[in-house]
Structure 1
Amino acid sequence: MKLSSPIKRKKLEIKPVKLSYYSHTSDNKNSFPVKPIPRRLRSAVKIVACFIFAGALIPFIYYLINANNFLEVTEVVVYGEDNFVPVKEVLTYSESKVLGKSILSLSTKEYEKYIKDTFLAVDKASMKIKWPNKIIVNITERIPVAILDNYGNKFFVDKEGYVMKQLSEDSYNYPEIVYEEKVNVGQFINQNIVPLSVELNKHAKDSNLVINKMQFNSQYISLNINDNIVVDLSLQKDNVLAMKQISAIIQKTSSEGQKLRKVDLRFEKVIVLYD
């Protein structure tokens, strides 16, 4: 008996299909292949188109706002202490600069600088916009730290040496600086004098001393301390050490029952004079 031969099956071969990167718009052999636009590129194109549209729309909106004066400044308010800087003058000046102008065209930093440059007694100026058409200005004045005695005329002076206001009375509790060069309100004196006087006054307070008057000379400073003691101090002297020395001398003479008249600290050896 013959066995039937096994059935031979043909092996199915799967050939890879090469996909074309290009697609054709038609079956026409002469048609040019068109490359599809990637998804990311399509999104980028949409975003760019939106920006272009918005950029074209903004000038139109800006024109409509200006044409109807919707954001035109109609009110200015100024807040300040009104001691050394006249608030009304700042208001008049600010109104002349901003009234009738569009808020969109204002630079607050620029106008703050205008105010400080025009009113030198202003220490700080801030301008804020209150929509849609109001401007608020806040000014902070310079703070006096001493009284400048200039040939009998007395003025407030701040830490930067700015001469602020002439005084008509002597009831203010500030240290006095005798200054021999002619000055007027609105000027700056030697920029080193006031910071040095402020420093001396601070160290004097730390040593329980009161400086009533200071006179600056080319090589030394003459101080009136505790109403009746004259102290001559070299400009090169350590201020902290000098005040401690003066305080120790005053305490010693007081314990000995003596009345101190003058202390000279300009030299290596301290010179002390009594009444």
Structure 2
Amino acid sequence: MTRRAVVFPGQGTPGGEISGRVEEVVRGVVGDGDVPYQLSVFARSVEVFHALRTRGVEFEVAAGHSLGEYAAAHAAGSLALEEAARLVAERDRLMREASRRNPGGMVAVIGVDPEEVVRVVEGIDGVVAANFNSPRQTVVSGREEALGEAVSRLGGRKIPLKVSGAFHSPLMAPAAEEMDRLLGEAVFGEPSIPMISAVDGNLLKSAEQIRSALRIQMLSPVRWVSVVERMVGMGIEEVVEAGEGGTLLRMLRDFEEKPVGRGAGELLA
């Protein structure tokens, strides 16, 4: 049997159509109003995951990029759908409020060694290396003026991200503090499959390990390189992205040693 991992994208990816149980739960959280962006991404990812499981597709491990870690915690069997949807809706609200209070942005730097990116931003107040997405792509996050200074000192290609704030930076501290409280009160169950933490690449095998990883993720860099390296070390042969846009599969191309990447649509066709 193929050893598969399921991975879930985060912010910057589109949501999509939902139905059945997932739609029912989302409406239970937000009523008849507009679905918040983060909740729409989460809901679509979970919808795709449930469709895969209905087709009999099984996974050895789950992982998520930033917001995607909530879908991963659900896929691992640690967070019930209702609890996860409620937490994601609160995360969306809190991060929007923090972004209004502490405006900023994010820029992907492509083709520069991650260590060089870290060296440059460590010398600039108000900007951090926020996402280590691949050996060729690192995202910096922070206040606009500091971001501008950082990217001016770096080579490579720079792509401003279409996000509403400086995620995974100290500017999210007010949101992180409240999410920490909410996660401390949330109900987590023992996972049926492990989850790889995008904070450090560690394999999470208990409810409390998953809770702890989610509590620190908002202010921590996303270390997706460590996630992929963990999968390789586990002998994962195939990575399936459950969600829209194919962002994580594109990142996978930058790795020399990697599992095969497949979109969920290939398995559902």
- Larger RCO (CA under 8 A, 6+ residues apart): 2
Would you call these one fold, judging by a TM-score over 0.5?
Answer: no
Shorter-chain TM-score tier: under 0.3
TM-score after normalising by structure 1: 0.21
TM-score after normalising by structure 2: 0.22
